[in-house]
Amino acid sequence: MATNGSGTSHGIARTSRARTEEQRHQELEKIRKYRELEDQVRSQAAQKEFGPELFQLTSKLLRLNPEYYTVWNIRRRSLISGLLSRRSDGSSPLTESPISSQTATTQASSAVSSSSSSDATPPSHESQTTGKSGTIAEDSRNVDGEHEHASNKQQDSDATKAAAEKQDLDVLKSELAFTIPLLLESPKCYWIWSYRLWVLEQAIQRLQVPVARRIWQEELGLATKMLTKDRRNFHAWGYRRHVVATLESASLGGESMVEAEFDYTTHKINQDLSNFSAWHNRSKLIPRLLDERGADDMAREALLNQELGLVREGLNVGPDDQSLWYYHQWLMLNLVDHVGKPTIVPHFTLENRVTYFMREIREIKDLLEDYKDVQLIYESLVDYTLSLCQLEERQPNADEKGELVRWLDKLRKLDPMRSGRWTDLERDIGLKKLRQKQTQ
């Protein structure tokens, strides 16, 4: 059903709310089942029975309602208090500092000799088959005591440690698998994305670096997949940046991925010039890319030219595409507003900068030959002419003033919705007087 009066909905057609008695009956039955499940989850959680049964119930409930953030929290608590073999206690980064897994396991087993640390919480490792419900973790049991009477403690300790990590790996992988279908169905649900990141953080805290790294690497594949399904999903873009930053970080023994990510934006842009999210990411990567390449002045200028060329190609066929113009603005801002900011061409002299502005203005004017009524062209001409004046610390000269008046007139005609803006602009650049003179 499409009604969503109590929450938020997007893009669902307005339909009649009338239901037949039969439909109403079915809906009431659905509600009864849902609330029964919800009651079970909440009462077990209230009694702190964070065992496998509760865990399994959260799977059921979250499949029905992935927005239920409290249930995601209950699931986290279930994992921490049992299914994940070693307590990290670092699960709540705000209230506790992450404790290394070594220390954490020792806490749990102070009675045992120092090198043998995890006897008190031996993991289950006979449960790696996937259950009916589709996840491994649901079938895991914390089989306390099964290993207690092992004859060789030292040997057992090593084995246990390895087994513990194996179980953590399985549980975490299973959690990642659990969230995939939910994400595909609700790609804009904040809670799923943040739960998934929490699981990934657990991997860093609990697993050996190469193992955790492999898991995070696979996440990049998910980000790519999600961005193939929806090229602008800002959750997925943010997720991608986070995954990349983590893969690059020391905690995963990483190194820079700036070249690969830059290539990824090229790929996304080639598929679709209007993908501003990709252009945005590109603008964030370029200053780093140049630094890490150790680019000299020539290489920097070459990249600026390459980027300007790329946008121009797009503008030649689609001059009404806002995404292209925003990126063009970013490139040009590198020439004006560069002090104290990462910039493409820090070495440029004022003369260089002016030359580039004049060239771009000329190129944009050329666009007018083919496209006489595209508002964004006039907007850019006004913008860049004023930037040029700002750069040279002067007022517009007579020719420029004449052009500005003409372009603003055109903007008022083509874009009356923003006439307040054109009026303010006219006032700010002192064209009002000039216009009066002209009309006299």
Partner 1 sequence: MATSFENLPEELQLATSAHVKYIQSLDTRKDEYDYWLTEHLRLNGLYWGLTALHLLGHPEALPRAETIDFVLSCQHPNGGFGAAPGHDAHMLSTVSAVQILAMINAFDELETRGTGKAKVGKFIADLQNRQTGTFAGDEWGEEDTRFLYGAFNALSLLGLLHLVDVDKAVDHIVACANFDGGYGVSPGAESHSGQILTCVAALTIAGRQDLIDTDRLGRWLSERQVASGGLNGRPEKKEDVCYSWWVLGSLEMIGKAHWIDRDKLVAFILRSQDPENGGISDRPGDMVDVWHTCFGLAGLSLLEYPGLQPVDPVYCMPKTTVQRVLGQSWKKTPLSSSAGSI
Stretch that binds partner 1, among 64-72, 109-117, 120-128, 153-161 (CB under 8 A): 64-72
- Give the interface size with partner 1 as a residue count (CB under 8 A): 73
**CA end-to-end span of the chain, whole Å?**
66
Cα separations in angstroms, 194 against 91, 96, 186, 199: 13, 18, 13, 9
**Binding pattern to partner 1, positions 165-204, x when CB under 8 A?**
-------------------------x---x--xx------
Q: Is 390 in the site for partner 1 (CB under 8 A)?
A: no
Which of 359, 372, 394, 421 binds partner 1 (CB under 8 A)? It is: 421
User: Given the complex with partner 1, which of 24 and 372 has the nearer CB atom?
Assistant: 24
Cα separations in angstroms, 310 against 271, 335, 355: 13, 17, 19
Q: Is 42 in the site for partner 1 (CB under 8 A)?
A: yes
Q: Is 274 in the site for partner 1 (CB under 8 A)?
A: yes
What are φ and ψ of residue 57, in 5° steps?
-65, -35
Distance CA(78)–CA(71), nearest Å, equals: 10
Q: How many CA atoms lie within 13 A of 379 on its CB side?
A: 20
For 23, the enclosing helix (H) or strand (E) is helix 21-46
Q: Please report how close the Cβ of residue 432 comes to partner 1 at its closest, in angstroms.
A: 6
Q: Please report how close the Cβ of residue 193 comes to partner 1 at its closest, in angstroms.
A: 8
Stretch that binds partner 1, among 161-169, 212-220, 345-353, 423-431 (CB under 8 A): 423-431
Q: Is 49 in the site for partner 1 (CB under 8 A)?
A: no
C-beta of residue 279 within 8 angstroms of C-beta of residue 328 = no
90 to 119, contacts with partner 1 by CB under 8 A?
Answer: 91-95
Q: Is 234 in the site for partner 1 (CB under 8 A)?
A: yes
Q: Is 398 in the site for partner 1 (CB under 8 A)?
A: no
User: Given the complex with partner 1, which of 294 and 420 has the nearer CB atom?
Assistant: 420
Q: Is 219 in the site for partner 1 (CB under 8 A)?
A: no
Q: Is 2 in the site for partner 1 (CB under 8 A)?
A: yes
C-beta of residue 377 within 8 angstroms of C-beta of residue 368 = yes
Which of 58, 202, 265, 283 binds partner 1 (CB under 8 A)? It is: 283
3-class secondary-structure state, position 228: helix
Single-letter amino acid, residue 256: S
Q: Is 18 in the site for partner 1 (CB under 8 A)?
A: no
By the 10 Å C-beta count (0-12 exposed, 13-18 middle, 19+ buried), 189 is classed as middle
